[in-house]
Amino acid sequence: MPKLPQSTRGWILNRRPVASPSPDDVTLTDLPLPDLQDGQVLVRNTHMAVLPSMLGLMRAGPLDQRLGVHGPHNPHSAYLPYTLGDPMTGPALGEVLASRADTLQPGDTVRHMLGWREHATAPADTMEHIQPKGLPPSLFLGALGLNGLTAYAGLTLAATLRTGDTVFVSAAGGSVGSLAGQIARLKGAARVIGSAGTSGKCDRLKAEFGFDAAINYTDDDLTKQLHQAAPDGIDVYFDNVGGDHLHAAIECMRHHGRIVLCGMLSQYLSGGGEAGGLPANVSAAIGKSLTLTGFHVFDHLDGVPGFAEDMPSWIAARQITCPQTVFDGIDRAHEAFQALFHGHTTGQTLVRL
Ligand SMILES: NC(=O)c1ccc[n+]([C@@H]2O[C@H](COP(=O)([O-])OP(=O)(O)OC[C@H]3O[C@@H](n4cnc5c(N)ncnc54)[C@H](OP(=O)(O)O)[C@@H]3O)[C@@H](O)[C@H]2O)c1
């Protein structure tokens, strides 16, 4: 048996970011790898995902408690903020190097939550055995992972998407947004509009991801642009951003339109004000009989009807494009994380280890 590593490199949280993430918040350090116990496996991580929600786990402030899944009356309180001085965690993909469990063998590909490090030792029952079946394994951290499920369940369950709908998706160049726009089209939307922060990204939305129209939110007034892109109004707004985007969408919603509150990117760096991303015109939801649905993918981890069949077959048939931005090396993990908040990435942002 090859000699197994006794230590690995991983990122620990030094201090809680106040607003934007800073390199001083974290340190890449050597972490010990304890000897394998019965039932455990040692995994060499091949990819890890960075997600905007990790800022909430680092910061753990009042906004993060409102936005996040920790806090009272919440069934997801297991998703706890990171502990200062401890290695950070998150979705990762790896190869089993050694196993003292019957269920996993060396060479198996596993998905687990011990990202932000090069190796991990953990009970085998906390690892999910992945069978890629010819699909690129890294997609199991994106389109075939939580973000694909988020886009799919957000549209089909929370928004109850219907054939012929006009759909608006914000942060449409991101991981969830780029998939949501394409899923909306594949599920029968008549017109799909996306927003992004650069003209280059807007071009990609139309050319590569099949959006009918793309709005650069840094250009002109958002409401004006949205009215132009959807002159007959919007049936479904998939909101990843909140704030001005939600304001513009409410202005352009049709009577009985449905809004899915999936994320509030506009609030994450500022820490949010008291309104937490809800705009002043939210009361128009009464006059227009709008439905605003808070959505969290953790409510759907047991599966969403259609997802396990649709997504792999769309990918295999090249009916859906799964963009990724890949940073190489554990040293670049925090740089990758910071890039999320500055529009420097498209699709799922991954670190290849
Ligand atoms: N509810 C759930 O279960 C669930 C699950 C997963 C993710 N989410 C949420 O879904 C949203 C998207 O996540 P993701 O993983 O797809 O993100 P992502 O891939 O990191 O995409 C983020 C993109 O959003 C845009 N953005 C960043 N700050 C912005 C701002 N202030 N205003 C407008 N756009 C901004 C940036 O692109 P441009 O600025 O260039 O457009 C950036 O590339 C996040 O809010 C996340 O927290 C929710």
Three-state secondary structure call for residue 350: strand
Q: Is 149 exposed, middle or buried (0-12, 13-18, 19+ CB in 10 A)?
A: buried
Where do the CATH 3.40.50.720 domains begin and end in the chain?
A: 146-299
At position 93, the amino acid (one-letter code) is: L
Q: What residues pair up with 236 in beta bridges, in sequence order? A: 167, 258
What pLDDT is attached to residue 126?
95
pLDDT, tens digit (0-9, with 9 covering 90-100), for 154-183: 999 999 999 999 999 999 999 999 999 999
Q: What is the mean pLDDT of residues 117-145?
A: 96
- d(C-alpha 352, C-alpha 216), whole Å: 30
Three-state secondary structure call for residue 119: strand
- Inform me whether the pLDDT recorded for 243 exceeds 70: yes
What pLDDT is attached to residue 63?
54
What pLDDT is attached to residue 269?
84
Q: Ligand 1 within 6 A of 193 CB? A: no
- Inform me whether the pLDDT recorded for 65 exceeds 70: no
Residue nearest to atom 13 of ligand 1 (CA): 176
What pLDDT is attached to residue 74?
54
Task: Tell me which CATH homologous superfamily contains domain 146-299.
Answer: NAD(P)-binding Rossmann-like Domain (3.40.50.720)
Bridge pairing between strands 234-239 and 166-169: parallel
- d(C-alpha 155, C-alpha 8), whole Å: 40
Residue nearest to atom 9 of ligand 1 (CA): 263
- Inform me whether the pLDDT recorded for 75 exceeds 80: no
Three-state secondary structure call for residue 190: coil
Q: Ligand 1 within 6 A of 263 CB? A: yes
- d(C-alpha 9, C-alpha 312), whole Å: 33
For residue 273, name the pLDDT band (cuts at 50, 70, 90).
low
Of all residues in the chain, the percent with pLDDT exceeding 70 is 93
The mean pLDDT value of the chain amounts to 93
- d(C-alpha 183, C-alpha 178), whole Å: 9
Q: 328: part of which helix (H) or strand (E)?
A: strand 324-328
Q: What is the mean pLDDT of residues 246-266?
A: 97
Mutate-to-test residue for ligand 1 from 20, 260, 265, 348, highest number of ligand atoms within 8 A of CB: 265
- d(C-alpha 208, C-alpha 157), whole Å: 26
Q: Closest ligand 1 atom to the C-alpha of 346?
A: 43
Q: Ligand 1 within 6 A of 181 CB? A: no
Where do the CATH 3.90.180.10 domains begin and end in the chain?
A: 7-138+325-352
Strand boundaries in 36-189, DSSP class E:
40-49, 92-99, 109-112, 119-123, 128-130, 166-169
pLDDT, tens digit (0-9, with 9 covering 90-100), for 18-42: 888 999 999 999 999 999 999 999 9
CB 71 within 8 A of CB 113: no
At position 221, the amino acid (one-letter code) is: D
Q: What is the mean pLDDT of residues 300-328?
A: 96
Contacts of 2 (CB under 8 A, 6+ apart): none
- Inform me whether the pLDDT recorded for 69 exceeds 60: no
Q: How much distance in Å is there from the Cα of 198 to the middle of ligand 1?
A: 14
pLDDT, tens digit (0-9, with 9 covering 90-100), for 318-337: 999 999 999 999 999 999 99
* Alpha-carbon dihedral angle through residues 119, 145, 318, 171, given to the nearest 10 degrees: -110
Q: 251: part of which helix (H) or strand (E)?
A: helix 243-252
What pLDDT is attached to residue 35?
93
- Inform me whether the pLDDT recorded for 241 exceeds 50: yes
The CATH code of domain 7-138+325-352 reads: 3.90.180.10
For residue 131, name the pLDDT band (cuts at 50, 70, 90).
very high
Of all residues in the chain, the percent with pLDDT exceeding 90 is 86
What pLDDT is attached to residue 277?
78
What pLDDT is attached to residue 68?
47
Which has the higher per-residue pLDDT, 80 or 226? 226
User: For the chain, what percentages of helix, strand and coil (3-state, to nearest 5) are there?
Assistant: 35, 25, 40
- d(C-alpha 181, C-alpha 255), whole Å: 22
Helix axes 175-186, 146-153, angle to 10 degrees: 50
Which has the higher per-residue pLDDT, 72 or 24? 24
